[in-house]
Amino acid sequence: MKNKRLPNIFINDINKDINNCQKFYYTDKKEDILPNKKWIKDSISKMINPKVHNFKQDVTIRLKDKVVDKTIISKDNISIMTLDGDNILIDDILDIKEK
């Protein structure tokens, strides 16, 4: 390998203190996460699919004030109906997961 002469590199003198370290804040609170309503509606639609005949679907639902385990039997545009006879508004749902 040939030893080629490389160009000189300019190095600037640092005459002052540099304070470019940024402070940041990280939280893992789930309450800070805003729900994605389109994703929630799509998830519910996939769980209750009339073409596949998923009549009862066991799910864990995180609402604004609590987490509940329910069995979904039907849905409409604004709510889902559970096996217990409860109607849960889709706007109140923060997260929904299949069991």
SS3 content of the chain, % helix, strand, coil (to 5): 15, 30, 55
Q: Any idea where the domains of the chain sit in the sequence?
A: 34-98
Percent share of the chain, pLDDT over 70 = 75
Give the pairing of strands 79-82 and 93-98.
Answer: unpaired
- Say which range, 12-16, 45-49, 50-54, has the weakest mean pLDDT: 50-54
Name the pLDDT band for 29 (thresholds 50, 70, 90): low
Give the pLDDT of residue 12. 81
Query: What element of type H or E holds 37?
Result: helix 37-47
